[in-house]
Amino acid sequence: MRLYELFLIETTEEDRAIISLSSSISEYLLQYRKLSGDQLTDVGTIGELFKTPLNILDPITIELESQDRIRRRIEQEYPDDVKSDSDNELAGLWYADSKTIVLDRANIGTSVMSSIVTHELRHALDDFKSEFKASSSNSYTKPKQKIHRKTPDDLYMAQPIEINARFLQALNAIVEVITNSRRKGLTKEQTKDSAMHELGRAFSHYDIGEFFPNKQQSDDYKRLVKRAVDFVDKEIAHQIK
């Protein structure tokens, strides 16, 4: 499916691969949960640590830092950039220049780590697929509506690349619902009902649609819904035989 938001071909298989990889990374990081102090920890590259169908991401280095150090890093390296105080931005960063994902080590072992990693992996993949235009070109970073360019938070949240990354976080939340339904022995129909209910909640939580010109009536938003439903169907088929 070609999404107008990013002018890239996005597929459900790609979405599922990112979420699966984020889960593997989160589990691998558990060995680092006792880190203390303010040091930076180089975990290694994705290609060194995991086998994944997304081998385009193999060169990415994963680093762990404290949130204070991440904040200082933002202030030092991007003093002129407009930066949001959103939790996701402070919890994880994607550096296209160095092909590095930086994560707040305080989230290791928590329920949010997989979601954070999913967000940053989407940024990384969008950059690789666009020959690193996604993090630098106005086509990817400029909000569609002028009204969303007036405040720092809106300017950040309304970027097409941010909408796409939050969309993956919404799908990540759906996987947990499907997994729990499978464990409870629910039917495919019951599981889909639960997943679609979570889809609505997750879309609202991550502001999917809020920053489109016509919000939920936008064709862009409807394409994301279609992509999400396809994801739900394929994930249920994979988990529930």
Instruction: Please choose, from the candidates 209, 208, 213, the residue with its C-alpha nearest in 3D space to the C-alpha of residue 146.
Output: 213
- Quote the pLDDT of residue 154: 67
- Quote the pLDDT of residue 151: 65
Confidence category of residue 143, pLDDT binned at 50, 70, 90: low
Q: Indicate whether 88 pLDDT > 60.
A: no
Confidence category of residue 120, pLDDT binned at 50, 70, 90: very high
| pTM as predicted | 0.88
Identify the helix (H) or strand (E) that includes residue 48.
helix 46-49
Confidence category of residue 168, pLDDT binned at 50, 70, 90: very high
Query: What is the spatial distance between Cα 115 and Cα 151, in angstroms, rounded to a whole number?
Result: 26
Average pLDDT over residues 202-206: 94
Three-state secondary-structure class, residue 64: strand
Average pLDDT over residues 143-162: 70
Average pLDDT over residues 210-215: 78
- In this predicted model, what pLDDT tens digit does every residue of 30-61 receive, in sequence order? 999 888 777 889 999 999 999 988 999 999 99
Average pLDDT over residues 162-174: 94
The pair of structure tokens assigned to 7 is 């002018």
In the chain, what are the domain boundaries?
2-239
Going by C-beta distance under 8 Å and a sequence separation of 6 or more, which residues neighbour residue 47?
55, 57, 58, 59
- In this predicted model, what pLDDT tens digit does every residue of 77-86 receive, in sequence order? 765 554 444 4
- Quote the pLDDT of residue 37: 72
Q: Indicate whether 5 pLDDT > 90.
A: no
Query: pLDDT: is 166 or 157 the higher one?
Result: 166
Query: Cβ(67)–Cβ(73) under 8 Å?
Result: no
Other CB atoms within a 10 A radius of the CB of residue 100 amount to 18
Instruction: Please choose, from the candidates 30, 72, 54, 65, the residue with its C-alpha nearest in 3D space to the C-alpha of residue 122.
Output: 54
Going by C-beta distance under 8 Å and a sequence separation of 6 or more, which residues neighbour residue 140?
6, 7, 126, 130, 133, 134, 159, 160, 161
- Residue indicated by tokens 């680093």: 63
